[in-house]
Amino acid sequence: MKRLPSAIFLLVLGACRAKEPSAGSASSPPTPPPAVPAPVLGFVDETRGATPVEGGILRRRLVGEPATLNAVLQSSLPEQQVLQYLARQLLDFDARLLLVPGLAERWEVSEDGREYRFFLRPREVWEDGSAVTSADAVFTIRQITDPKIPSPVFKPLFDDLELVEATSPTSFRARFRNRDALHAYAFAMPLLPERRFSGRPFAKARENRAPLSNGPYRLSSWKTQDAIELERNPRWSGPPAHFDRIVFRIVPEEAVAYRALVEGTLDETWIDQSLKERSARDRRFGACCRTVEFYNLDYNYIALNNRSPLFSDSRVRRAMTMLLDRPSIVRNLYHGSARIISGPWAPDSPAYDAAVTPLPFDPSAAAELLDSAGWRDTNGDGTRDRNGREFEFDLLSSAGAKTGSEIDQVFAAELARVGIRARVRPLEWATFVERIDRGDYQAASLASAASDANPDPFPYWHSSQSPPRGVNNVFYSNAAADRLMEDARRELDPGKRRDIYHRLHRIFRDDPPVVFIANASQKYAFRRRVRGLVTSPLGLYGFWPGPLAWWGIPDDSVAGGRGQ
C-alpha cells in the first residue's frame, strides 16, 4: 500500500467544543431536535439508479497546507486529495480494490513477471492541449527513481527498476530486476509533463505549485493557509465530473471545521467520536447534515525510532506495546468503534492474520521486560536509567489533536507508572511532517493512510528502506522479517503470498517496530446536499472515481431549505 504520513486518521484532529445551543426558555418547553439519520457503518454506493445533478460548488476540507502539488514529491494526505482532481493516473483502483485502466487503456506483463508494457489512450491531453505521451511516463518514473529526488510515496515501489523506455509516442515498457507479483501496483501513479520540467531544477519548478492538469479539473488559485480552488478543465475528455468548481478550505481545527459544515461554508469534514456524539444532539446538524461511518484499511500507531538507544531493543518496544491500554482506548475514546490490531495491516486486509492476537495490556510483564533490557531505576529518582541515561523522550504529535492527544496522554500516564517520562509535544503540521519524513524524532503519533490496495509492507518496514531511500522512518531492522518481505514479493501465487504475510504478521507482533494501536472506523459528516457517495476499504477517496462521482443539489431544494 502507498502510505501517507497523515494526521487526519491517527491524530483525530480536534480542539475545544463549540458552545451548545440553548435548550429553550423556562416558559416554553424545549424544541426536540430533528431526527438525525443513523450513520451507515458499512459500505455504501449512492450512485446506483441515481441521476447526477450537474453544476455548483463543492467545498471540501484540508487538514493542512500541501507542501507541493508535484505528484512525484507528494508525501501527505492533503496533497493526495487535491491531486486526485488534477492528475489522472496511469492505472487506478476501483472500489473493489481491483486495478483498472486510467491514462493507460491496457497493459501487458511478460511471462517471467519482470516486464510491463503500457499503452496510453491516444486522445489524452494536458490542459494546454499538448498530448500526454509515453515520454511523460518515462520522465516521471525516472524522476521517482532519481536518488537525488525525494519521492517517499512512489520511490520504494520502483527500487529494483532496471529499465524504462518509450516504445512509441503512446507506449512504453518498464523492466524490473526481480519478479514481483505486485509490481503492477506501482503504476497507480500520476504523470508529469516532461517539457515543463526539462532543463530546470526539479525541486524548485514553478509547476510544483502551479501544476499542469490532465484530469477533470485544473488549478484556479492557491491562497496560502486559506484555500485552494479548482475549476473544470475544458480539455478533459474522460467521464465528466459534476461540480463546476471545487474549493478546498485549509481548516486544521476539528471543531472549526464542524462549525463551518453546520454553517454551510464546508460540505464535508472528517469528525472524531466526540463530534459524532455531539452531532446526534445538535438540532442544527440534524437540519443540514448527515454522518457516514465505515471501516477502511487505515490504522494508527505510535512510531518508535529504532535507531534511538531507548527503542533499539525489541524487548523495550514489546514492553511499550504492553503499556498502552488499547482495550480502554477502544472502549472509552472510540466507544467501541475501533478494532485493536497486532500488525501493520487493518483487519480487512488479506494480509492480516486474525489468529495473531494482540499483545495484552500488562504493565507488570512490561516492567519485567524493561528490567531484562537493563532499564532500571538505579539512582532512586523514580525514572528508569541505563548506562547513565534516563528513560525520557518527546512524543510528537500534530497540533490541534483531540482524541489523538488523549491517546498520547493515556500512554504517558501509564509509562510514568513504570518509571518512564514521555513529554507529549504537539507540533505545527508542516514541522511535524518534516520531522517524521527525515526520522528526526524519538517517538511520534502516526497513521497508515492506505491510498491503494497493495498490502506489501516492504517499503515501510524492510531494513533497506530507511530514509532518505524509503519510508521506513522508524528504522526497523529484522533479518527474518526482511527475508519474508523479499519472499512475498517474489511469490506469484496469491495463496502462498498470503501465507508468507501471515508468518510475517507474527514477527511484527512479537518484535514490534512500533506500538500498533487500532483500526478505527472512519467518520465523516456531509451536508445532505452532497450525493453520490461510495465507500470502499480505501475509504471515500483512494479509488476511482471516488469523490469525482459526487454531485450536489441546491440547499433550498430539500426539506426546510437547509439541506437534506
Domains and CATH numbers, the chain: 13-18+35-70+221-292+523-561 (3.40.190.10), 91-207 (3.90.76.10), 299-520 (3.10.105.10)
Looking up cell 503519533, which residue turns up? Answer: 445
76 touches 68 (CB < 8 A): no
Cis amide linkage into residue 545, ω under 30° from 0: yes
pLDDT, one tens digit per residue, over 512-561 is 999 999 999 999 999 999 999 999 888 898 899 999 999 999 864 444 44
**Confidence class of residue 127 from pLDDT cuts 50, 70 and 90?**
very high
Query: Which among 103, 68, 493, 518 has a CA at the least distance from the CA of 273?
Result: 518
CA atoms within 13 A on the CB side of 219: 19
From 17-26, 221-230, 266-275, 276-285, the region with the lowest mean pLDDT:
17-26
Q: Letter for the amino acid at 368?
A: E
Instruction: Show Cβ contacts of residue 49 under 8 Å, excluding neighbours closer than 6 positions.
Output: none
Winning range, highest mean pLDDT, from 134-148, 195-209, 267-281, 446-460: 134-148
The residue among 312 and 563 whose pLDDT is bigger is: 312
pLDDT digits (tens, 9 = 90+) for 199-243: 889 999 999 999 999 999 999 999 999 999 999 999 999 888 999
CA angle 193, 141, 465 (to 5 degrees): 140
Alpha-carbon span 462 to 479, nearest angstrom: 9
Computed over every residue of the chain, the mean pLDDT equals: 88
Rg (CA), the chain: 24
pLDDT tens digits, 387-423? 999 999 999 998 766 777 889 999 999 999 999 999 9
8 A C-beta contact, residue 255 and residue 14: yes
- Retrieve residue 29's grid coordinates: 418547553
Which long-range contacts does 227-231 make (Cβ < 8 Å, 24+ apart)? Answer: 228/62, 228/66, 228/82, 230/82, 230/85, 230/86
